[in-house]
Chain A
Amino acid sequence: MKSNRKIRKPISNKTKTLLLMLLPALLLFVLFNTIPLITGAFYSFTNYRGYGSYDFVGFRNFSDLFRDIRVGKSYLFTFKYAIAGTILVNVISLLLAMGLNSKIKFKSTLRGMYFLPNILGGLVVGYIFSFIFTYIIPTAAKALNIDFLSNSILASERWAWVGVLIVGVWQTVAMNTIIYISGLQTIPADIYEASAIDGAGKWCTFKKLTLPLLLPFISTNLILSTKNMLMVFDQIISLTKGGPAQSTESISYLIYRNGMEGGQFGFQSANAVVFFILIVTISVVQLVITSKKEEQL
């Protein structure tokens, strides 16, 4: 272990015990995170189909990725979904959190209610919403003569992603709301009293006080929701299976479909490597931007 080599002084008994306590976690992590990560990166340079023999193909998988229309479409969909979703989720959950944090009646019941979507499984929620989109909404729209909604939006190549987005937002808002509420509770009430006495307007107080003080929580929520929405899978499998015409195929779903079943193990490994690098880059950029903002305060 690294620490053994670097530190010259004899290791105390206490450190030995602590190392021993760390060992199970470290072993499991290396075995089921680092090794598969390296294996995945290794296969991305091969034409492995998931079985049989394979050859090294250099960077061909990566250059092919940028020419593959299906891969391009999946990136377009995933980013469209994640950007729209992250914005919607954070706006809605911040407003909900402010509402649920004020002195209102039934506060704890309402909080419990708004958290409910988070505990339900994405797959079953997807099936339930699938029925709403394909049956309830079109039937209601026909009765009310609304042409636009008289067919299932999940069957529309142009609008199916909105259906997936609604379900994703419906579930993700719950968790972010709780995080924002706990953030709001760290702000002492007398700050608001002071600003009210100083005659600050409500919008001004929100912009100059609430938002800056919430910044660490906003940063947590942004990173969490972006990452989770980029990895969307359950809703796709239950709502659209990537259709119609591959218009809602997310990156994770494509890697699963073609990598596991389509004989593209090597090619989709390259896709996964690019996806991994993108996620890390986006998270780091988000971290740097928000921590810069925090420093300015």
Chain B
Amino acid sequence: MSSEKYFVSKAPDIRIKPAKEIKNDKDGKSKILLTIVLILGCITILFPLYMTVIIALKSPSEMTNDIAGALSLPESFSLDNFAEAIRVTDFWHSLGNSLLITGTAIVLSLAIHSMAGYAIGRSMAKHKGFKFIYFYIVSGMFVPFAILMMPLVKETAVMQIDNMFGVILLYVVFYMPMNVMLYSGYLKNIPLAMEEAAEMDGASTWKTYWKIIFPMMKPMHATVAVLTALGTWNDVMTPLVIMSGSDKTTLPLAQLNFQTQFGTNYNLAFASYLLALIPILIFYIICQKQIIGGIANGAVKG
């Protein structure tokens, strides 16, 4: 925290890029200082993760009553906590459910939201009805889950989708306002001439869309997939209220459900937390560029 405070007073001075002619020694020094400050700032991010890994690898007997007990390196690396955590929280099933929910929600979002975005984006100027539907759907962004929560619990129970399928459908609806906005905004970059040429050749609107437009929206598909994935993967509230009747859990939900069973065995608890974090960490390490690029893309186009 203290390094951030330091950074607050320092950063505005260093930010400005001077013209090349007046670049001098002072500028180079402040760049190095800035780099050091930014690296030190990373401690606030890495410390909680370091602590999680260390505690997860230790046995309870190593947790003495001082800071060193929690933060020093373990005497011997043991994976016992992980084996126990996998058993206690039924890790593989929760992981499978989380993957299934997030994966299906992404696929459905890409198909349904891009179609809607296309239909709206291409007709908004000509037909008032489409414009109305656009604002109708986008305004859903401001509806808090709190107001939908209780009625949705009743509704999904009546429709007998108070299970993973229902949760998937709800995600498709929750991310619809943002995704439809992103897709219809992105369409402005795709010239109408592409479709007109295809239609001249006798292709139907439907075919033109899937053969020409859908592949051209690839950068936006990446953005939508990333935003939908991060939101659904980590969400607790929706599965908590919708799936509470079924015996299925997602990864975050398992952490919540088994919290009481960990008791004071912090090593077991942290092994379980780490297990819950590992899948998304691996995904992030592999796709870091696409994830950050996708979000930046959404911010500029949105």
Interface residues, chain A, with chain B CB atoms under 8 Å away: 1-4, 6-7, 13-15, 17-19, 21-22, 24-26, 28-29, 31-33, 35-37, 39-40, 43, 50, 91-92, 95-96, 98-106, 110-125, 127-129, 131-132, 135-136, 139-140, 143, 170, 175, 178-179, 181-183, 185-186, 189, 192-193, 196-197, 202-203, 205-206, 210, 217, 220, 227, 230-231, 233-234, 237-238, 251-252, 255-256, 259-260, 265, 268-269, 272-273, 275-276, 279-280, 283
Q: Which of B113-154 contact A (CB under 8 A)?
A: 113, 115-116, 118-120, 122-123, 127-130, 132-133, 136-137, 140, 142-154
A276 engages B37 (CB within 8 Å): no
**A217 is contacted by which of B116, B122, B123, B299 (Cβ under 8 Å)?**
B299
Contact A115 B150 (CB under 8 A): no
| A110 contacts B42, C-beta separation under 8 Å | yes
CA distance A256 to B237 in the complex (A): 9
Residue pair B129, A21 in contact (C-beta under 8 Å): no
Which segment of B6-14, B72-80, B186-194 sits at the interface? B6-14
Whether the Cβ atoms of A135 and B70 lie closer than 8 Å is yes
Residue in contact with B70 in the complex, picked from A31, A136, A237, CB distance below 8 Å: A136
The answer to whether A182 touches B299 (Cβ under 8 A) is yes
Cβ of B241 to closest chain A Cβ, rounded Å: 6
A28 to B133, CA, bound (A): 13
B35 at interface, CB cutoff 8 A: yes
A196 x B149 contact (CB < 8 A): no
* Bound: A120/B280 CA distance, A: 7
Asked if A260 and B16 sit within 8 Å, CB to CB, the answer is: no
Residues B123 and A15 in contact, CB atoms below 8 Å apart:
yes
A211 CA to B41 CA, complexed, in Å: 24
Whether A182 contacts B67 by the Cβ 8 Å rule is: no
Most buried by A among B113, B147, B152, B295: B147
B170 and A259: CB pair below 8 A? no
Q: Please, how many angstroms separate the alpha-carbon atoms of A119 and B35 in the complex?
A: 24
Contact across chains for B209 and A21 when beta carbons are under 8 A apart: yes
The 8 Å CB contact of A28, one of B128, B153, B169, B269, is B169
User: Taking CB as reference atom, which chain A residue is nearest B205?
Assistant: A17
Knowing A192-B17, A237-B256, say if A33 contacts B155 (CB, 8 Å).
Answer: no
- Nearest 9 CB-CB pairings of A with B: A3-B129, A121-B234, A25-B116, A36-B151, A182-B296, A272-B147, A39-B151, A18-B119, A17-B205
Q: Which of B11, B146, B153, B234 is the one whose CB lies under 8 Å from A95?
A: B11
The reply to whether B66 and A252 contact each other, CB–CB distance below 8 Å, is no
